[in-house]
A and B are shown apart, each in its own frame.
Chain A
Amino acid sequence: MTASGMKHTRRRKKGVSYVKWGYIFLIPFFLIYTIFSLAPLLSTFYNSFFENFMSGLKQIGPTFVGFENYVKIFTEGDLLKYAENTLIIWIMGFVPQIIVSLLLASWFTDIRLRLKAQGFFKTIIYMPNLIMASAFAMLFFALFSDYGPVNSILQSMGLLDSPFRFLSSVWGTRGLIALMNFLMWFGNTTILLMAGIMGIDTTLYEAAEVDGAKPSQTFWKITIPLLKPILLYVMITSMIGGIQMFDVPQILTNAKGTPNRTTMTLIMYLNKHLYSKNYGMAGALSVILFIITAILSLVVFFSLTKKDD
């Protein structure tokens, strides 16, 4: 009797009854995730194997066609062209972004430089990140239109004789999208890199200073090598973000990817298929994007966990 009594109290003390609350508190997350994300994801995969589209007003399919949609999207569609557009615009924004962010992060954290008004500058450079991308694109469309304020300013300064037609030029439009991506993300990257630099052991910098190292030497020999994992993280997450590029080019070019579809991105292409109810192709495209993103995410995951060892 005493034995069973003790067992009883011990069990109660250890809190067996609490464990179930762990499961209960997880219910909302997993329930909602299953309904609104997991099931749609699986259904997307499933749909990618069916021929299912609207031809005029006539519904074709759904008929099971195996991998035919995948073959079709690579051979018939302009998938590679849109992938190339997305990659080019991403690189045009990312290269200046990483250079400027590294520069600013190393300046902000430089103990000898002691920059004033850091809070002000950080506030300003982070601000564009919170702007509604579609409104920002609409603003740039108005600003850089043929008779808009930017052309008006450039002409009154005598830099241009006639308006430069930004949105009719391939590199003008791509450049504007890249510029907006740059503005929206360089502040965020600066803050991430700053957190990384501040995590570096300060005695390394002190030792370098005693040895008479120049700022450029400490930057290339200490900061960059030790920052590698975070630089990789920033690059891959930015690449994943780049694949998702949509709002800015969609609004700036009115969903057309003008001029001549040179600014049509992968997600704009997906959106087009979704709108025209071309579900087979949309499914195949989604799965391809999912696989690319998954590979990139695994790179992030392993680079971060390796650092822990």
Chain B
Amino acid sequence: MVKNGYSQKDKSDRAVLNVRRTVSYIVLAILTVICLFSFYILIINASRSHPEIQKGFSAMPGKSLRINFNSLMSNDNLPVLRGILNSLLVSGGCAVLTTYFSALTAYAIHAYNFRFRKAAFYFILMIMMVPTQVTALGFVRQMNAMKLMDSFIPLILPSIAAPTVFFFMKQYMEGALPLEIVDAARIDGSGEFHTFNFVVMPILKPAMAVQAIFAFVTAWNNYFIPNLILQSKMKKTLPILIAQLRSADFLKFDMGQVYMMIAISILPVIVVYLCLSRFIVAGVALGSVKG
């Protein structure tokens, strides 16, 4: 009797579990469709010609992928190729500077016991939340005064001081960088700067890789500050060209080229992301709130 009662309870338990599992799969499937839907249309329409797109939506790709690409590249009003190169230069520069110098700053506070260590740490934490937009007015005026308008320097150099990346590196060092290693290097006669470059940096590689990707993507997508600094046509980065496309008379545009332009801005990041997603998703959790 009791046994029977138990197995019945077991059965109903399992039924409930199955229902819950089904519901969660359905919700996940719907969210997946919502996430991918717009990118699916993007890829389809990037491969169709303007008249085809005007005719209405079709679920199958067209044959104009190469034509759209070529006509976009030879579009005189929109220096896309130059935009890609500019974006690559700025994003690459930011990724390199931000990871190297954030690691160096974190190392200074992690490894050396100087008097203002705590003060420096709390200062960097404090400035972490100041939005760049709030300083934009002073920033633009100062770049004007320093004759750095329409230059890449104000877009690349400030990434040396990146509080969030610093914080991530500091967290990582606490778990992965025992100071005995540094002491051992000193006994071997390694100078402090040499120790950082050739002993400490290799240990930080995983953290630096994740942060380099994030820094690259952030700079690649950045619109607000570059839009205030860059002026000449050949200096513009991709987000500014996208905005320019938006403000142009939309109806006159070849829609195939518009979709191609969006695809060129978005897809490289997606491809890199899909290759490295395991590390990236783990990195997000790692850099989150910890104590």
> Which segment of B69-77, B201-209, B281-289 sits at the interface?
B281-289
Number of interface residues of A (CB under 8 A): 101
A221 to B121, CA, bound (A): 37
A45 to B105, CA, bound (A): 28
Q: Chain B interface secondary structure, helix, strand, loop or mixed?
A: helix
B105 touches A26 (CB 8 A): yes
Q: For A21, A35, A143, A246, which residue has the most chain B Cβ atoms within 10 angstroms? A: A21
A122 to B42, CA, bound (A): 22
Q: For A140, A153, A229, which residue has the most chain B Cβ atoms within 10 angstroms? A: A153
Question: Chain B, 113-127, contact with A by CB distance < 8 Å: what is the 0/1 string?
Answer: 110010010001101
Question: B94 an interface residue at 8 Å Cβ cutoff?
Answer: no
Question: B152 an interface residue at 8 Å Cβ cutoff?
Answer: no
A40 touches B28 (CB 8 A): no
Number of interface residues of B (CB under 8 A): 92
A25 touches B105 (CB 8 A): yes
A153 touches B136 (CB 8 A): no
A271 to B28, CA, bound (A): 38
> Which segment of A75-83, A84-92, A190-198 sits at the interface?
A190-198
Residues facing B in A131-154 (CB within 8 A) are 131-136, 138-143, 145, 147, 149, 152-153
Question: Chain A, 141-182, contact with B by CB distance < 8 Å: what is the 0/1 string?
Answer: 111010101001100100000000000000000000000000
User: Which A residues touch B28, using CB under 8 A?
Assistant: 104, 107, 115, 121
A44/B285 contact (C-beta < 8 A), A29-B101, A115-B24, A123-B277 known: no
A113 touches B24 (CB 8 A): yes
A43 to B136, CA, bound (A): 10
User: Which A residues touch B281, using CB under 8 A?
Assistant: 122-123, 126, 191
A136 touches B266 (CB 8 A): yes
A135/B136 contact (C-beta < 8 A), A18-B192, A26-B120, A32-B158 known: no
A36/B27 contact (C-beta < 8 A), A270-B133, A279-B137 known: no
Question: B131 an interface residue at 8 Å Cβ cutoff?
Answer: yes
A289 touches B133 (CB 8 A): yes
User: Which B residues touch A22, using CB under 8 A?
Assistant: 108-109, 111-114, 117
Question: A63 an interface residue at 8 Å Cβ cutoff?
Answer: no
Question: B41 an interface residue at 8 Å Cβ cutoff?
Answer: yes
Query: Closest approach, in angstroms, between the C-beta of B169 and any C-beta of chain A?
Result: 11
Query: Closest approach, in angstroms, between the C-beta of A121 and any C-beta of chain B?
Result: 5
A131 touches B131 (CB 8 A): no
> Which segment of B60-68, B170-178, B255-263 sits at the interface?
B255-263
User: Which A residues touch B51, using CB under 8 A?
Assistant: none
B138 touches A126 (CB 8 A): no
User: Which A residues touch B117, using CB under 8 A?
Assistant: 22
User: Which A residues touch B131, using CB under 8 A?
Assistant: 240, 243-244, 289-290, 293
User: Which A residues touch B291, using CB under 8 A?
Assistant: 304, 307-308
B158 touches A37 (CB 8 A): yes
A128/B262 contact (C-beta < 8 A), A33-B161, A44-B137, A143-B41 known: no
Question: Chain A, 95-109, contact with B by CB distance < 8 Å: what is the 0/1 string?
Answer: 000001001100100
A293/B129 contact (C-beta < 8 A), A134-B242, A149-B45, A191-B281 known: yes
In the assembled complex, 14 residue pairs joining A and B whose CB atoms fall closer than 8 Å, in A order, are A19-B112, A19-B113, A21-B192, A28-B101, A28-B160, A36-B157, A39-B142, A47-B137, A123-B274, A139-B262, A156-B56, A191-B281, A192-B284, A286-B136
Contacts from B to A (Cβ < 8 Å): 17, 20-21, 24-25, 27-28, 31-32, 34-36, 38, 41-42, 45, 54, 56-57, 101-102, 104-105, 107-109, 111-114, 117, 120, 124-125, 127-131, 133-142, 154, 157-158, 160-161, 166, 186, 192-193, 196, 217, 220-221, 223-224, 228, 238-239, 242-243, 245-247, 250, 255, 258-259, 262, 265-266, 269-270, 273-274, 277-278, 280-281, 284-285, 288-289, 291
Given contacts A21-B112, A267-B224, A290-B131, 14 further A-B pairs with CB under 8 A are: A22-B111, A24-B108, A28-B161, A30-B120, A32-B161, A33-B161, A36-B158, A47-B141, A103-B27, A115-B21, A127-B274, A133-B223, A134-B223, A246-B133
